[in-house]
Every structure is written in structure tokens, then in C-alpha cells.
């Protein structure tokens, strides 16, 4: 293979890589999940007492 052929192969691979957007959806879903997590985190302490009461009731009824 000549040097010109290698350059064309590298150029073709670089262009194919730059044009490939198959992983973009996964990144978008990860960003959405992170945003949802950040939105939920501040309100979780509000529900903490309700969760503790529910689990305590369940634990007492089991034992």
C-alpha cells in the first residue's frame, strides 16, 4: 500500500468516526437521568420520615 493509500484510509476512518452518531442517544439518556437525579435529590429528605415510618410498620408486622 502506498503512502497516499494509507492517507485515504486514515481520512476515510476519521470522517466515518466523525459522522457516526450511534452513541449520541446513550449520552442524551445519561444527561436526562442525571438531570432527573439532581431534581429528585433535594426533595428526598421531605419523604424520609414517611419512608422510615412505612418500613418500621412493615418490620413490626413481620416480627
Selected residue with higher pLDDT from 47 and 57:
57
- Which residues 6+ apart lie within 8 Å of 1 measured at CB? 9
What is the per-residue pLDDT for 3?
59
What is the per-residue pLDDT for 2?
55
Q: How confident is the model at residue 58 (pLDDT cuts 50, 70, 90)?
A: very high
What tens digit of pLDDT does each residue of 3-38 get?
556 677 888 888 887 777 767 788 888 899 999 999
**Would you kindly state where each structural domain of the chain is located, as residue ranges?**
3-62
pTM reported for the whole predicted model:
0.45
**Cα 40 to Cα 25: distance, rounded to the nearest angstrom:** 23
Amino acid at each position: 500500500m502506498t503512502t497516499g493509500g494509507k492517507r485515504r484510509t486514515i481520512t476515510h476512518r476519521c470522517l466515518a468516526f466523525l459522522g457516526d452518531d450511534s452513541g449520541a442517544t446513550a449520552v442524551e439518556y445519561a444527561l436526562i437521568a442525571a438531570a432527573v437525579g439532581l431534581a429528585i435529590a433535594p426533595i428526598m429528605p421531605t419523604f424520609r420520615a414517611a419512608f422510615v415510618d412505612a418500613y418500621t410498620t412493615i418490620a413490626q408486622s413481620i416480627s
